[in-house]
Amino acid sequence: MSVEKKKGLGKGLEAIFGEDMMEAIEDIQQGKVDAGGKTNEIALAEIRPNPYQPRKIFDESALNDLAESIREHGVFTPILLRKSVQGYEIIAGERRWRASKIAKKETIPAIIMDFTDAQMMEISILENVQREDLNPLEEASAYQHLAERLEYTQEVLAQRVGKSRTYVTNIMRLLKLPQPIQQMVTEKKLSIGHVRPLVTIEDEDLAIEIAEKACKEGLSVRSVEALTKELAENNNNKKTKVKPLKKKDPNLVYVENLMELKLQTYVTLEKNEIRIKYTSDSDLNRILELLGCIEE
């Protein structure tokens, strides 16, 4: 991407989209283009994660390696921030920020930019997708939030993230899977190919049974497809009662989406309960801090 094409970066992401997102971000951070901001040393304590960050899981080993490098050499590439009501929010560079905290640094070099919520959401998703940092469920959830928040059709969404419409449609269908199967995908016990045929099964117990069998026996994708067809036919022959798809109250879905955007983790509302997923003690502390449950 040429410098001439990027002179308008300070005016908004319209000048970036359609170009190579990662190249544009890196050029801004390395000072190769004038993005309307300058590098400042910002206190880590004043910085908060991007509320629209789609990535829920950070590799602790990789963060520790990066922290060791930062201890020895410092942070070479500034992170991108925007001013918020209290302090700053990260646009790009959350790994460097997290690693700097591990390295016990007090400040980090940063470039302050003026982005809207919609732009923050797009740049976070596109950055992670281009880096291939997201697991399939994180990617699917990110696409759903982007489509709902910005009212994108799947065709427009596919264009914005640089994927085919078929790819976007198929990966978003993963969100229809029962939670235990989604967890198997997140933990890389099953691939997208393994679980794709399970999306069509309305009987959740049967779908979970097939997924667990695939995990336990190490079945191939074709074997899962054949097993799915066989068990579904057997169920029909036995006139097994198939549970209908549950239509969730759209108001609850809306609140779930709001909470997931705020907490950056999976949230479920049902039967007068709120279930918030966390992956580790540090992730739980992060969520408690966002909820204002930890005293300063």
Q: Which residue ranges make up each domain of the chain?
A: 4-131, 135-176, 177-246, 250-290
Question: By C-alpha distance, which of 204, 200, 205 is closest to 229?
Answer: 200
193-237 pLDDT tens trace: 888 889 888 888 888 988 998 888 888 888 888 888 887 676 665
Examine the pLDDT at 245 and tell me if it is beyond 70. Answer: no
Q: 219 φ, ψ to 5°? A: -70, 150
Mean pLDDT of 139-149: 81
**How sure is the predictor about 107, in pLDDT bands with cuts at 50, 70 and 90?**
very high
pLDDT-based confidence at residue 35 (cuts at 50, 70, 90): low
End-to-end alpha carbon distance in the chain: 45
User: Please, how many CA atoms are within 13 Å of residue 120, restricted to the half-sphere of its CB?
Assistant: 22
Query: For the residues 134-140, what does the mean pLDDT come to?
Result: 82
* Rounded CA separation 15/113 (Å): 14
The predicted pLDDT at position 20 comes to 52
**Phi/psi at 134 (nearest 5 deg)?**
-95, 145
| Cα 112 to Cα 114: distance, rounded to the nearest angstrom | 7
The 8-class DSSP code of residue 86 comes to S
If one counts every other C-beta atom within 10 angstroms of the C-beta of residue 24, the result is 24
Question: By 3-state DSSP, what share of the chain in percent is helix, strand and coil, each rounded to 5?
Answer: 55, 10, 35
* Fold of the CATH domain 4-131: 3.90.1530
Q: What percent of the chain is modeled with pLDDT above 90?
A: 10
Mean pLDDT, the chain, rounded, equals 77
Write out the H or E segment, with its range, that includes residue 83: strand 79-83
> Which of 128, 212, 141, 139 is closest to 175 using CA atoms?
141
pLDDT of residue 108: 94
Annotated catalytic residues are 94
For residues 47-57, average pLDDT = 77
Q: Is the pTM of this model over 0.85?
A: no
175: pLDDT strictly greater than 80: yes
